[in-house]
Amino acid sequence: METVILINVRDRPTEIALLLQSLRTQTYSDFDIYILDDCSGTPLTNYHFFNCVMNRLKIEGHKVFMKKTEFTHGVSRARHAIAEWALEKNYKYFLRVDDDVVLEPDYLERLHKVLLDFPYDIASGVTVPMQVIPFKRNPRFLNGIVNRVILDKGGAYIMNGDDCGMEYTATGVTNILPAHHFRSCALIKREVHEQVKYYPTKLSHHGFREEQIFSYRALMKGFKIGIDLNAINYHQMTPSGGERPTANMVPFNQEILEEFTKENKEELSKLFPTEPMPSKQALMKESNLK
């Protein structure tokens, strides 16, 4: 297998079973699965429905490897640990996927095409709330960059885009755009994980913003991030389990992100355009003219 699926999980047996079932139906099937259980209260293998799906994957030719930590690592350290574990084998691509998402059948195939057909090293899609009626956005309003970042001269944020929480009307090659950072489930080339790490970090155990700091570290190493706006995974947004239940840690981790950005402002300012975004009215006018 040339691709490995990396799943960090904690106290979400139902959610991960749904994720694994969505992996069974992927149009791209050349993958193994690594699961790092970050000290769940009840072992995953105690759940019959989890064992059913996991065994079916094995029957269908996928290797499934599992570990359980002796104590809770938290988001950043757990993501680092599973990546280092998988690097022991000769996998070419690493898909980090959250434990509470359901992937559309072409998700993996689409992300592989981003890495194979375009000059990108990290590929991601959009993470859509599963329980809501979808709102489809016109990608014209992205102005060519997903999750756009604009910094002032001191490294403070003028804009910090978060565009991957909805669906888009884009089709064909127009649905592949560069990004300043990825959100959630991403396919990553081996050489990225060999040079860029999630840990150590000043982020809390809760780990919010670890994806963005990882993205920045990758960009500063010369790697590029691409987003397929039609690659969809549905976010279950479950209230149970997981590594991010403590909402009051979000402001702290945002402060750590801002500190990291200022510390690296000279390098990052070269990567992010400084021109302001065109107004919504200007984009709508341009769209009407065409």
Confidence of residue 249 (pLDDT cuts 50, 70, 90): confident
Cβ atoms 34, 23 nearer than 8 A: no
Instruction: Encode pLDDT of 104-125 as tens digits.
Output: 999 999 999 999 999 999 999 9
Q: Which pLDDT score is estimated for 286?
A: 45
CATH number of this structure's domain 3-289: 3.90.550.60
Interior/surface letters 122-136, b for 16+ CB within 10 angstroms, e for the rest: bbbbbbbeeeeeeee
Average of per-residue pLDDT values in the chain: 92
Residue count of the chain, please give it: 290
- Quick one: which of 184, 242, 243, 246 has its CA closest to 211? 184
Q: Identify any residues that bridge with 225 across adjacent strands, giving them in sequence order.
A: 122, 179
Instruction: Encode pLDDT of 200-231 as tens digits.
Output: 999 998 888 999 999 999 999 999 999 999 99
Q: Which pLDDT score is estimated for 170?
A: 78
Residues 6+ away with beta carbon under 8 Å from 27: 105, 106, 108, 109
pTM above 0.85, yes or no: yes
The tokens of 207 are what? 């780990």
Interior/surface letters 67-85, b for 16+ CB within 10 angstroms, e for the rest: eebeeebbbbbbbbbbbee
E strand residue ranges, the chain: 3-9, 31-37, 64-68, 93-97, 101-103, 122-129, 136-137, 149-151, 157-160, 167-168, 176-179, 186-189, 225-235
Residue 219 DSSP symbol: H
Q: Which pLDDT score is estimated for 147?
A: 97
Half-sphere exposure of 191 (CA within 13 A, CB side): 8
Instruction: Encode pLDDT of 29-85 as tens digits.
Output: 999 999 999 999 999 999 999 999 999 999 999 999 999 999 999 999 999 999 999
Q: Which pLDDT score is estimated for 279?
A: 54
More confident residue, 233 or 280: 233
Residue in the structure block whose two tokens are 């329980």: 131
